[in-house]
Structure 1
Amino acid sequence: MKTTKLLLIYILIYLPITINGQIKKIGTPLIKNYNRIEYKGGTQNWDIDQDKNGNMYFANNTGLIQFDGSTWKKYKAKKTDEMKCLKVDPTGKVYVGYYNEFGYFKANSKGKLEYFSLSSLLNKKEHSKMDVVWKIHLYKDEVIFQSFHSIYIYKNNKLKIINAPKKFQFSFISNGRLYIQDIFSGIMEYHDGKLTYLKGTNALNNTEVWGVIEIQKNKILISTLDRGIFTLSNNQVIPWNTQANTFIKKNGSLGCILYKNKYIVINSVLDGIIVCDLNGNIIQHINRSKGLQNNTALSLFIDNSNNLWLGLDNGITYVNENSLLTYLDFNYNLGTVYSSVIHKGNLYVATNQGVFYHPWNTDFKADSFKLVEGTTTIAWNIQIMNGELICASNKGALVILDGKLIKNLDPTGYLKFEPIPKHPGFYIGANYNGFSIFEKTNTGIKLRNKVKGFNKSSIVFEIDNNYIWLKKDEFIYKISLENNLRKTQIIKTYTQFSESNPGIGSLQKINNKIYFQTNNIFYTYSKIQNTFIEDQAITNLFKSIPKINQLIEDSNGNLWYNNNNSMGVLMKAGNKYRHISSPLSNLTENLVTNYMSINTIDSKNTFIGLTDGLAHYDSTIENITPLKPKALIRSFSFPGDTIHLGNGQNKEEEYELPYSSNQVKFTFSSPSYENLENLEFSYQLEGFEENWSVWSNSTVKEYTNLKEGNYKMKVRVKNNSGIESDEASIAFRVYPPWYRHSLAYLLYLLMAAGCVHYIRFRIRMKIRKNKHFETLEQRRLYLEKETKIKQEQYELEKEIEKLENEKLQIKILSKDKELVNNTLQVVKKNKILNGIIQKLKDINTGSFDETTKAQFAKLNRSITKEVNTDKSWKDLEKHLKNVHFDFLKKLKEKHPTISSREMDLATYLLMNMSTKEIAEFMNISTGGVELARYRLRKKLELNQKENLIGYLMSIK
């Protein structure tokens, strides 16, 4: 029961310490320096803070500097540049202090930090008293700005001022309490708007206090610039007589912070920083010789992964203090390490420059490894054989004791040694020309013989009870020796272990059994079956691990592996293994290719060979660093604008882009500062890409000529342990061009509907019109037909009329002719009657009786009356003029000089009267008619070939 209680007390006391981690005494943590060229700022960095997204902020003497793991950005206030202090609140506001100015930076609608002055709230008198604002504190619901003259308390958009009793120096928050030093009056505590003196602190008057931390209840540690470190307890200030105080008295202090509640980090003026425990014992000292770029540390900050950031007098430094790894590099006189081992109280290291050693039970300090004289060459391996320390080197098989070279067993170059099963006291060594056999003797190990029949060399070989297995290039050699170990008996070469799994991977011994590996599938060799058999149990251990290149089992049974991406270990716990990879991820770029060196001394001490020294790993320290990295989309750019993300904005928006801005650019980052070089990003633009991109170190991606639509940019990050982050995403929409906008399509639809309606209307109108035109056409055709019929009827009538006229003309002509004939008959009759009358006149009436005389006279009168009353000629002439009026008119118009006599002749000719008839009619001779015709032709200007009657007919 008592044992159980003690165990419980131990767990309650020490478990939190284990979980919180420890500061390691061996080696130096990984240090990453950023110079002013990288962050594009001034030299001095006075203050450091971090926001909830992991972005780092630095108060630089040229302004505010922000670092997101990928990109450095600088922001300036309007009136001044030289920043002295900053503090980031939970909303992302960055409060800043300058000379005669203080305020805050806040992300605008585009995510870019903009400066807002708070000192502008002061009146001119108060502003004129203000000097340099050195410290800013977020205290409860107030923001405290501290200058030498006053403290300015910002709350609810109002400023309250408390003036210094004499002169403020600096102020500090520790364990929720705010302390302020008045350099002439002592240290005070601020509470509820009032300052209360801490008794006994006036002993530090006229001394600059640069750090105040509460290390125990009612015990405060105070570091000063030039008088060392003090503690305040029970109202007494006393020197802190420790190693840390001795260091600070010599080098000065510019501040201190409490680390993991059990360590103190103190920055110095002259010699970097120290890490000590709460008793003042120095555990680590990091200065320029250990990798800092400057020995004056102006500011300290512990980030959200419990790693240190140092604001130096010239530059910024990141210290991976929370890592389980520390390094013994060139500062410890070490080069490329191929092997290490502890022998008789010394740690020996085989390097490319020879064998170095260091006492194991003393502190590891810079330049503390010493060269074993006579070993200056490439030392490939160092191991213990039968209690002796043997080094396989380029000079041969070297025996070393107590840091000295004792002898060289064989000057041939050697790579590795192994004991031979079934042959106690015998060892085989792989040299540059094959193998050699060494034998244990009373005077120590000696070379016995060279093995004949095999001349290939490799450091990768293992021995079981039956064979020597050697891996060389892409081959595995199975070698059996004769029983006297002087000559090879059988040599067989393999290029694969299974037809379904071609290739050769690694050769290793696990639990004293030889395993062969390809593509993380492990095999053992069966001599009985003369074949390789898969070992499912070991294979399952590596099922979810990336393809390995090498595997080594350490002295504790842990399985260490490396691959192209990283290094990891399966820590053995009983019959099970626990996979650890993230703490070892920083070793990726520093591992020695094809020469994996693991030296596990105990659970607290494992040394890993690197290209630049050793890495020290303590497996008992639990690392609380989040295993999963965090991906951030830092900016979203498109023509004309840039959206800065992760500067305190909480609201997720869907951004809307016009089609003219369909060229977008994204930048990514991950605040995994301990592993920046090995981070890889993958992205997918949902709506444009179907698959995620391949992993790459690129932190920028650009897309051009995106079509309209909804998009979602997704980004994830992976560290070199293969651990992926959650997705970071941003949604945006590219609007279509105006002619493809939904309103445009609605307009097109309306226009189409209008067009359809119009077309239908036009078709209907056309149909109507066609019907109308058809009706009109039918009417026209009808009318035309009717007209045609009428025309034809008219023409027929005209034809009839013409025929009738012609008939009438013919009839008239006939009548005319008849009339002429009658007239001629009448004329003839009249001539006859005149002749009778003349003859009657010749009759002598004297012989007649009266009656006869009377009858004769009566007859004569009657005949004379008949002749005189006959007007046939005149009627004929009148008739002819009436009938041929148009002809005579046209003839007269065409030939005005024509006479009436000639017109009568033309009429007679037109009537087709004969010359004789004309002569009788005109009462002329036929010769006179011919003469009259000649004169008429002349009058009508007709030539001889023209027909007179035809011409007259044409006039008609």
Structure 2
Amino acid sequence: MKFTVFTFLLLASLQLYSQTGNYFLSHYTPGEDRFDEVCFDIAQEKSGLVYFATRRGILEFDGRNWNTLLNDGAVYSIQLAPSGELYWAGAAGYGTVATRNMGHRTTTVISPKGVTDVFQCLLQEKKSYFVGEHALYIETPGQATLTVNATKQTGTFGSLFEIFGAVYINTAHMGLFKVDGNKLVRSRLNFSDTEEVVFSQGYDNQYLVGLSDNSVYLVGENLKPRLVVLEDDAYAAASVIVSGTWVNKDLFVLGTLRGGLIFVQASTGKTQEIVNYNTGLPDNEVYALMSDQSQCIWAAHEYGFTRVSPYMPFRSFSHYNGLAGNLHCARAFQGSVYAGTSLGLFKLEKEDLYDEITYFIEVAEVQPQAGATPSATPAPATQTMPTAPADETTQPAGPKRKGFLRFLKKNRNKESAPIITQSAPAEAGTALPPTAATPSATPHARTVNRRIKKTERVLRTTTYRYKKVQGINAKITQLVIVDNKLIAVGLGGAFEIEGLTARPILEEPVRIAYASRNLGMLLVSTYDDDVRAFAPGAKGWTPSSTLNTINDDIEAITDGNNHDLWLCAPDKVYHVDMAAGTLKNVDELPISNPTLNKIACVRWNKEIVLAHKDGFFRFDPANHTFVRIDSLPKPALHFSDGEDILYNDGHTWNILGKTHGQSNLQLLNLQQNLRFVTIDQNGENLWLVTGNNELYKFYGEKLTPYEVGNKPLLKAARNENEAMDLRDFALDETRSSLTFDVIQPDYLAPQSIEYRYQLAGLEDEWSDWSVSNNIINFAYLPSNDYVLMVQSRDIFGKIRELPTVAFEVLPPYWKRPWFYALEFLVFSGLVMLSMRLSSRFRIISRVLSLLTIIMLLQFIQTVIGKTFETPTSPVLDFFIQVVVAFMILPVEGYLRNFMLKEGSLTGRLQRFLTPEAAPADDKKE
């Protein structure tokens, strides 16, 4: 009974088993207008673009932008062919979305006319399969559609899946079948005919298969399923497994209906992580799963999509219960995690969680009929019936469990058994059902099963929870370790921490603390501008008056090379020379910090280096001053613990003085609003507090080679807001406003990717790097041949190039060669016409001649001017036109004399040959 109760009890959330933190999660929402999208399937293209099959169509996502590819109704399944072509199945049948060709896509419906509600597609090398409730459609290139219909014997069709090239299909009445050509044959897979195969995912030489009874199998090449014994099988069964996929060959993930995601080691079945509402997942109901190219898991849920990064060197510590206030610092000490907030100090501790559950048992009783004598002894309990938690989405039980919305129905129709009532009178020699007790020998009695409600307190799980450290009721801003002791400082003072107890060292507000190795003391700077020193001892902390002479706003302290200290105020630095623990000398060194920026100070390469927003400065003993280090950039942001300086120059992150273990530092660009950073003892791991009050531990020494990165894509080109087909790209100069939309698909830090571009034919230099240069706009382009070059740079500094885009801007028609040729033909025609009319129509001939000369000269001037035109200055173009005019002036005189003279001679010749047509005056001559 208790095991059954425990199974249903595990519907509650399960926390992690150790203080390792939670997986790094990234959340995406299509937008307010598509907030309620229900996602049925997810796929990723080789280029990195991710596609979502939703009830409104197909969504495309590149890390920044959402785009709708198909919106003709719900799409239930999508598959990507090796060629990049996207196949879809949905309410409108099934079809394809062509590969991206320079920003252009076409959508085609290939299903036979009248086919609707196709809920799944499956692709193979030469065939594609599409299944609906009543028919299976097989498409082969160049052949007619092959249809396999469901029968009364098989019942409706369920989901399709593939194992080692063989295609299988679930049926409602006869279990599993193999698709063999144009017929169905009984499957040889050793699965129960009563259970549906919910999912099948291959990786290397084995397949991960999940059944509707919440069991999970691994199937090798021998096709013999091997049951995976899940460490948390009770939790998985109670949560209802609806999907699953591989992360890599050692890890797979199960998506559940009520319990979020379960990450499982493939070889042992041990739970690696459970990602649910209590660890940052917005909703425990998972619609669909996909493993992307970077070994990250995409999960679709009611609030959008979440990307889970198991191997990201970030672990979240914000989602454990008990933490209160705004975070300021954190540190690991002796295997425990401490977090300082605006309300005090909290320790993460293991805790057993118990729940009171309610369940029912059935007790058989004998009830007398009217006038009969009741039995004196009730029947014993015969069956325990736990009641599953209410689920408003539970579907009514029925024979139809498979359909195009099967993932919403999967296993929701498992209801508790009904109450059984025996109402028939007992007869001599008749055996009662085994669920009833033997009644007394009363001839007029009946047996009834009565449900009795019971409550039991049962251990839910062992988890972790933040507990408040007693004795601190004010803000904690820093945690330091001195002599293997944890010290917390803040507005309440300085405290030594032992477990959940704080012992005060100094009870006045403290600005910063520093563990001095040179002195073996704890140094604290107070809000009263005092510097206090405390030495650890067997009886506690002993105050020292060593530094009582320094009264200033000390913001940073570091040890020198010998028995000396460096203490930094906003406008000066104190160099304190100590001898045998006694103050020997104090030097005051002014520094340049006009805006009183926050100062950090460390010892680096045996030099004292301080930093603020104006740069890094080292101490020059020869000149007894601080000088700028030109080889280091100005830090846009910096954090220090007195030993190291973590800084960002606006693009990259570095730790001053570290030459190894920094391969992951650029991942800090994922956190755009870091407020506090604590550098752990080994200098590699960091504790991060973001502006969203999130606490992360960053593992700097862990390698993350799985982020493959993608090349930039040209998503679209628009000419005056009209999309262009870039396969044949040419446009007119009069409409040469162009906008190019470039994107590098990225889901790690898409908002941090920078772009630059160059347009050969217009510019000779690259633009500056900018995150907004993915949208490239040209308001006007003169006629020319152009080549667009674009580069992208990710947070690691890796540069990738977009394939060059060549296009042509055509001049107006009156500047094109064919128009010049037409003009030449017109001029020639005018000359011929002028010569023919000169004998009879002298005035018209002369007018035509002059017009021809003018047009010819204008033609010559236009051609020459176009050849020597410069886009730099209209004044220069004007002077070029003047020079051209002077050059063609002699040509103009020659043509005028020639054409007019030629016209006169021609007229005379014609009159001589035809004297009868000559005028009277000419005859006299």
Query: TM exceeds 0.5?
Result: yes
CA distance in 2, matches of 1:42, 1:309: 18
Q: 1:451–1:488: 8 Å Cα contact kept in structure 2?
A: no
Q: Work out whether 1:101 is the aligned partner of 2:182.
A: no
Query: 1:839-878, aligned counterparts within 5 Å?
Result: none
Query: 1:800-879, aligned counterparts within 5 Å?
Result: none
The corresponding residue for 2:660 is 577
Change (3 A) 1:334 1:582: farther
CA shift, 1:462, in A, is 0.5
Given candidates 294, 306, 318, the residue that maps to 1:317 is 306
The corresponding residue for 1:81 is 73
CA distance in 1, matches of 2:536, 2:724: 75
CA shift, 1:667, in A, is 1.8
Of 50-59 and 131-140, deviating more is 131-140
SS in 2 for 1:54: coil
Q: 2:714–2:802: 8 Å Cα contact kept in structure 1?
A: no
CA distance in 1, matches of 2:180, 2:576: 81
The corresponding residue for 2:897 is 763
The corresponding residue for 1:346 is 336
Change (3 A) 1:633 1:352: farther
Query: 1:395-414, aligned counterparts within 5 Å?
Result: 395-414=492-511
Q: Which amino acid aligns with 2:525?
A: A
Given candidates 171, 190, 201, the residue that maps to 1:182 is 171
CA distance in 2, matches of 1:429, 1:291: 37
The corresponding residue for 1:895 is none
Given candidates 522, 527, 544, the residue that maps to 1:427 is 522
Change (3 A) 1:702 1:447: same
Q: Work out whether 1:329 is the aligned partner of 2:412.
A: no
Given candidates 583, 587, 607, the residue that maps to 1:490 is 587
Q: Work out whether 1:591 is the aligned partner of 2:674.
A: yes
Change (3 A) 1:664 1:235: closer
Of 612-621 and 522-531, deviating more is 522-531
SS in 1 for 2:750: helix
CA distance in 2, matches of 1:640, 1:491: 65
Q: How many residues align?
A: 713
Given candidates 735, 748, 772, the residue that maps to 2:810 is 735
Q: 2:36–2:302: 8 Å Cα contact kept in structure 1?
A: no
CA distance in 2, matches of 1:569, 1:473: 22
The corresponding residue for 1:243 is 231
Given candidates 241, 245, 270, the residue that maps to 1:281 is 270
Change (3 A) 1:73 1:182: same
The corresponding residue for 1:47 is 41
Q: Work out whether 1:157 is the aligned partner of 2:164.
A: no
CA shift, 1:217, in A, is 6.1
Post-superposition Cα deviations, 1:809-868, rounded to whole Å, max 9, x if no partner, equal xxxxxxxxxxxxxxxxxxxxxxxxxxxxxxxxxxxxxxxxxxxxxxxxxxxxxxxxxxxx
The corresponding residue for 2:288 is 299
CA shift, 1:49, in A, is 0.9
Query: 1:702-721, aligned counterparts within 5 Å?
Result: 702-721=777-796
The corresponding residue for 2:566 is 469
Change (3 A) 1:494 1:721: same
SS in 2 for 1:584: helix
Q: Which amino acid aligns with 2:488?
A: C
Query: 1:510-529, aligned counterparts within 5 Å?
Result: 510=604, 514-516=608-610, 525=619
CA distance in 1, matches of 2:755, 2:462: 39
CA distance in 2, matches of 1:444, 1:291: 42
Structure 1 unaligned runs (5+)?
1-22, 497-502, 646-652, 774-956
Change (3 A) 1:42 1:153: farther
Change (3 A) 1:107 1:390: closer
CA shift, 1:266, in A, is 0.9
The corresponding residue for 1:207 is 195
CA distance in 2, matches of 1:582, 1:173: 42
SS in 2 for 1:714: strand
CA distance in 1, matches of 2:651, 2:462: 32
Given candidates 252, 265, 279, the residue that maps to 2:240 is 252
CA distance in 2, matches of 1:547, 1:175: 55
Q: 2:177–2:187: 8 Å Cα contact kept in structure 1?
A: yes
CA shift, 1:25, in A, is 8.2
The corresponding residue for 2:366 is none
CA shift, 1:444, in A, is 1.4
The corresponding residue for 1:136 is 121
Q: Which amino acid aligns with 1:580?
A: S
The corresponding residue for 2:105 is 113
CA distance in 2, matches of 1:394, 1:400: 16
Given candidates 688, 707, 718, the residue that maps to 1:637 is 718
CA shift, 1:256, in A, is 0.3
CA shift, 1:512, in A, is 7.5
Q: 1:476–1:504: 8 Å Cα contact kept in structure 2?
A: no
Given candidates 727, 735, 760, the residue that maps to 1:686 is 760
Given candidates 650, 660, 672, the residue that maps to 1:564 is 650
The corresponding residue for 1:791 is none
CA shift, 1:105, in A, is 1.9
Post-superposition Cα deviations, 1:632-652, rounded to whole Å, max 9, x if no partner, equal 22110003731367xxxxxxx
Q: Work out whether 1:66 is the aligned partner of 2:60.
A: yes
Q: Which amino acid aligns with 1:91?
A: S
CA shift, 1:201, in A, is 3.9
CA distance in 2, matches of 1:687, 1:259: 47
Q: Which amino acid aligns with 2:209?
A: I
Q: 2:556–2:568: 8 Å Cα contact kept in structure 1?
A: yes
SS in 2 for 1:31: strand
The corresponding residue for 1:810 is none
CA shift, 1:438, in A, is 0.9
SS in 2 for 1:671: coil
Post-superposition Cα deviations, 1:549-574, rounded to whole Å, max 9, x if no partner, equal 5365899xx985434345345896xx
Q: 2:294–2:706: 8 Å Cα contact kept in structure 1?
A: yes
Of 749-758 and 451-460, deviating more is 749-758
CA distance in 2, matches of 1:609, 1:682: 32
Q: Which amino acid aligns with 1:703?
A: F
CA shift, 1:737, in A, is 1.1
Q: Which amino acid aligns with 1:222?
A: V
Q: Work out whether 1:33 is the aligned partner of 2:27.
A: yes
The corresponding residue for 1:550 is 638
CA distance in 1, matches of 2:618, 2:62: 49
CA distance in 2, matches of 1:510, 1:212: 56
Q: Which amino acid aligns with 2:465?
A: S
Change (3 A) 1:244 1:760: farther
The corresponding residue for 1:372 is 469
SS in 1 for 2:67: strand
The corresponding residue for 1:813 is none
Change (3 A) 1:741 1:161: same
SS in 1 for 2:799: coil
Post-superposition Cα deviations, 1:782-832, rounded to whole Å, max 9, x if no partner, equal xxxxxxxxxxxxxxxxxxxxxxxxxxxxxxxxxxxxxxxxxxxxxxxxxxx
Given candidates 500, 504, 507, the residue that maps to 2:601 is 507
Change (3 A) 1:374 1:467: same
Q: Work out whether 1:224 is the aligned partner of 2:310.
A: no
CA distance in 1, matches of 2:547, 2:642: 29
The corresponding residue for 2:776 is 701
SS in 1 for 2:195: coil
CA distance in 2, matches of 1:765, 1:213: 88
